[in-house]
Amino acid sequence: MQHNIFATMRSLKIMDGCKGGSQVYHHRSSGGGSGGIGEKLLQQLHDHIKSQTFRTKSVHNFHNFPTPNQTPSEVVAEGSLLPYGLPMTELLAPKIEPVLRPVDFVERLAALHNKIENCLDVERSEIYLESLRSAGQHGVDVHSKIVLASWLRYDRREDELIGSSSMDCCGRNIECPKATLVANGYDPELVYDPCSCLRDCDEEEEDFMMFDDQQCSTPDEDDGGWDISFCIGDDEIRCGRFNMASLSRPFKTMLYGGFIESRRGTINFSRNGFSVEAMKAAEVFSRTKSLTTIEPNVVLELLSLANRFCCEEMKCACDTYLASLVSDMEDALLLIEYGLEETAYLLVAACLQVVLRELPASLQCSGFAKLFCSPEGRDRLAAAGHASFVLYYFLSQVAMEEEMRSNITVMLVERLVECAKDGWEKQLAFHQFGVVMFERKEYKDAQHWFEVAVEAGHVYSLVGVARAKYRRGHTYAAYKIMNSLINDHKPVGWMYQERSLYCFGKEKMMDLISATELDPTLSFPYKYRAVSLLEESRIGPAIAEINKLIGFKLSPDCLELRAWFLIAMEEYEGALRDVRAILTLDPNYMMFYGNMHGNHLVELLSPVVQQCNLADCWMQLYDRWSSVDDIGSLAVVHQMLENDPGKSLLRFRQSLLLLRLNCQKAAMRSLRLARNHSTSDHERLVYEGWILYDTGHREAALEKAEESISIQRSFEAYFLKAYALADTNLDSESSEYVIHLLEEALRCPSDGLRKGQALNNLGSVYVDCDKLDLAADCYMNALNIKHTRAHQGLARVYHLKRQSKDAYDEMTKLIEKAWNNASAYEKRSEYCGRDMAKSDLSMSTHLDPLRTYPYRYRAAVLMDDHKEAEAIEELSRAIEFKPDLQLLNLRAAFYHSINDFASSIRDCEAALCLDPGNAETLETYNKAQEDIKKQK
């Protein structure tokens, strides 16, 4: 197995298309007072706080927290730290996802692959949009390109860099705001190439304006010369009859046809409403085909003249010229009205692009609702060629993220419905309309739109139908809907989760258990069970239950729930730790049903927790980092940043921790803040290099590292350069150079945390070069400064030296030291016999069901034992909630081995939808197709 030497430190994964949602809590504030309570008071509290509703927020992934050893008999319920009481089971409900959710995700992926393979090029972007993958690189016109490029930028939020503008180019064609305005579509193979912004200014202007100076001409007496005049008031504009006639058919008819003007040398143009300057500009353009000498305000009038007299070439030139002037919101809001009035496609596109790249702030701009939300505004955009499903899909997504229940969101989703064509577009639009209406508590309308979505073919919308019926008091009808859904389809986790909402007691708990077994990534079952244990005054087990989820899926709402429990136990230090972690993930997070800002809870908890000075914080960070306590490390860094918010080094450490926790967006935010607060050029260049590397610009990242080193030698600059260079298959010469760079890094000043990582990475390179003794020295040195992960590297050295027991023991040490040790169990399984390996892998799956290696190993063992059906079932169990490429490839191979070629092809097609160029998938796919042909 090829070893990726830096895979354990930084990883930037592709975001999943289907995102998890937040949960809904309902409450009413408790009264004042404090004191301990038992079961009776818990029941009184239960009865007291169940009328109002508040929503908490959602997010992503995480790790373990130690379970309290004892369950206290008393709970703080109404003290100053719990002013809003405790969460209640009957007031919990999972969010209805505002996305398309197929019953069989693999079948859906396979179908999408077939649609992509068999569609026309002009349809490709639309189909990619359905799968939220690679749509941008297949944009076929300016409109789709500006929308998709703006959407990409919205997901990246590059405006967080100080000194940057939303219209700045990152250097790639697919995101360049000028490349989007070029009429032709992208070459899919060149979308990530450097854009024209990197050319010299003259060439760039020539490309964008689409003019060629060599085409410009001067008056020629042979072409008519100055043989006609247009009079406007007392002014006379001398023109060439032939040149003016060449502007359009109406001018040609007027000047050479049967009209009286064709026989006159002077034509009165006063009543047409155009100024002398505009007519002079038309004369200039008739000769030169250029607008370079004309003032912008005159070009605006010239655009109107061109429209009036059907001068298509002149209109196109005005359109292109004016589009090149749009650079900010002020320009966009001013010029878009001109563009819409004159149906100037490029000008409207340029203005639209600015508005889209300023989202979500532009939602609040005056005129936004009139232009985008009203039917009349949509009609005006349509007349200019800029009303589309993809536009309103993007706008509605942004609006729903900002405020699901706002009137703007409702109107944008209404426009989305109007733009939707048959198929998945209608399913999505109807379903999202249902979700918005449900959030606004307009349950009758919500039920209607969910039912329309079901009629359009979206089975998951039955969840919305059931939920709306339940809110309207029809509990049994809701239960019947979900029960029928389970009976009519192959059941998946969310079906049991939904049915649990409409039943009670043991039946509810059994459905929640089934939901977790089928899909352990669903948050609601863990949260319900945890709060249920809380209501039984079993807070320790409640924390243990929520820890199961936090151990592999970090989300602020689950951390909030655990902090709540810890406050009730008076474990204030642990609660403060969780709240600080929440604020690292979401600085604006509101606690306790959205009533208290997280920062305020930090203020309340801090006085009851022992305070630490800066030196203590560094020691704590060192200990937590060494014990792989990522949540504790995040909390310490958050505390240190309170006293020194501009410390870029701490922001950088924060980004590393967040990457380890698979929180990519939060990690990028921290990295950008590190760059923004840099106090020196060489430091800023390093952070810019990491940003470039993490966004796919490896060569540019290397340039930043080299530039930083040229200013000042530093650990981080050498480390970045070594890391970026190692992100390839290294030959012996390249490996030696990476070793040299890491050695240079270690000679520069740094702290033990970073030097431990450098030593660990250096050991990995030595292993790949088969220099095992040198590698062992590096790992031992790393362990001496408490870089705990080096146990894994040292175990690998022992394994390669055929010292399996030593390797196993080394991984045992890592398991004992690390709080988050699912990966350690998985790795240790490689150094023991089959029975012990199965035990370790079972523990790894228990701690983190998202790790795919254990499923693949168990399936391979079953295949070796000729238990093909069991092997396929083992893989299918994981694929249901994580359609991973490796899992799909292995199951496709297993299906092929038992001559089930149709199933093998289906899995290959699903895998190719995820990675079209995967060699392993293509090999199995081609074999299965050949075998099917032989059968026929």
Over residues 112-148, the pLDDT tens digits come to 999 888 887 767 777 777 765 566 556 668 898 899 8
Domain 548-750: top CATH class: mainly alpha
User: What pLDDT score was predicted for residue 321?
Assistant: 93
Per the CB < 8 A criterion, the answer to whether 735 and 765 are in contact is yes
Please, what is the angle between helix 853-864 and helix 868-879, to 10°?
Answer: 170
* Domain residue ranges in the chain: 548-750, 751-819
User: What pLDDT score was predicted for residue 273?
Assistant: 86
Whether the model pTM is above 0.75: yes
- Residue 745 pLDDT greater than 90, yes or no: yes
| Rounded-to-integer distance, Cα 827 and Cα 881, Å | 23
| Rounded-to-integer distance, Cα 197 and Cα 610, Å | 54
For residue range 240-269, list pLDDT tens digits in order: 989 999 999 999 888 888 777 767 788 888
User: What pLDDT score was predicted for residue 90?
Assistant: 87
Q: Is 421 helix (H, G, I), strand (E, B) or coil?
A: coil
- Residue 751 pLDDT greater than 70, yes or no: yes
Angle at 151 between CA 406 and CA 380, to 5 degrees: 65
Within 13 Å, how many C-alpha atoms sit on residue 233's CB side? 7
Query: If you count DSSP H runs as helices and E runs as strands, how many of each does the chain have, helices first?
Result: 46, 8
- From the CA atom positions of the chain, what is the Rg in Å? 32
Residue 610 exposed, middle or buried by CB count within 10 Å (0-12, 13-18, 19+): exposed
User: What pLDDT score was predicted for residue 763?
Assistant: 97
Scanning the structure block, which residue is given the tokens 């006085």?
607
- Residue 215 pLDDT greater than 90, yes or no: no
User: What pLDDT score was predicted for residue 217?
Assistant: 39
User: What pLDDT score was predicted for residue 544?
Assistant: 96
The answer to which of 194-198, 434-438, 881-885 has the lowest mean pLDDT is 194-198
Per the CB < 8 A criterion, the answer to whether 523 and 530 are in contact is no
Per the CB < 8 A criterion, the answer to whether 92 and 526 are in contact is no
- Residue 37 pLDDT greater than 70, yes or no: no
Return the closest-CA partner of residue 667 out of 591, 728, 595, 585. 585
Task: Note every long-range contact of 545-551, with CB atoms under 8 Å and residues 24 or more positions apart, other chains counting.
Answer: 547/64, 547/65, 547/67, 549/523, 550/62, 550/63, 550/64, 550/65, 551/62, 551/63, 551/64, 551/820, 551/822, 551/847, 551/848
User: What pLDDT score was predicted for residue 66?
Assistant: 37
User: What pLDDT score was predicted for residue 621?
Assistant: 93
Return the closest-CA partner of residue 133 out of 150, 152, 118. 152
Mean pLDDT of all residues in 774-778: 97
User: What pLDDT score was predicted for residue 127?
Assistant: 76
H or E element in which residue 93 lies: strand 93-94
For residue range 835-856, list pLDDT tens digits in order: 999 999 999 999 999 999 999 9
Buried b or exposed e, range 598-609, using 16+ CB within 10 angstroms: beebbebbeeee
751-819 has the same fold as 548-750: yes
| Confidence tier at 728 by pLDDT (50, 70, 90) | confident
Output 226 or 787, whichever has higher pLDDT.
787
Mean pLDDT of all residues in 727-733: 82
H or E element in which residue 666 lies: helix 664-676
Task: Kindly state the percentage of the chain with pLDDT values over 90.
Answer: 66
Domain 751-819: top CATH class: mainly alpha
Angle at 715 between CA 710 and CA 717, to 5 degrees: 45
| Rounded-to-integer distance, Cα 721 and Cα 936, Å | 56
Mean pLDDT of all residues in 723-749: 92
| Confidence tier at 82 by pLDDT (50, 70, 90) | confident
Mean pLDDT of all residues in 872-876: 97
Bridge partners (DSSP) listed for residue 230: 237, 267
For residue range 360-374, list pLDDT tens digits in order: 999 988 889 999 999
In terms of DSSP bridges, do strands 266-268 and 228-232 run parallel, antiparallel, or are they unpaired? parallel
| Confidence tier at 161 by pLDDT (50, 70, 90) | low
User: What pLDDT score was predicted for residue 164?
Assistant: 66
For residue range 321-369, list pLDDT tens digits in order: 999 999 888 889 889 999 999 999 999 999 999 999 999 999 988 889 9
| Rounded-to-integer distance, Cα 467 and Cα 473, Å | 10
User: What pLDDT score was predicted for residue 18?
Assistant: 31
Mean pLDDT of all residues in 86-114: 92
The answer to which of 661-665, 729-733, 762-766, 807-811 has the lowest mean pLDDT is 729-733
Mean pLDDT of all residues in 791-813: 96
- Residue 50 pLDDT greater than 70, yes or no: no
Scanning the structure block, which residue is given the tokens 């100080």?
162
Return the closest-CA partner of residue 284 out of 223, 243, 322. 243
Mean pLDDT of all residues in 797-816: 96
Scanning the structure block, which residue is given the tokens 């362990």?
783
| Confidence tier at 58 by pLDDT (50, 70, 90) | very low
Bridge partners (DSSP) listed for residue 237: 230
Average pLDDT taken over every residue of the chain = 85
For residue range 184-212, list pLDDT tens digits in order: 655 555 555 666 665 544 444 444 344 33
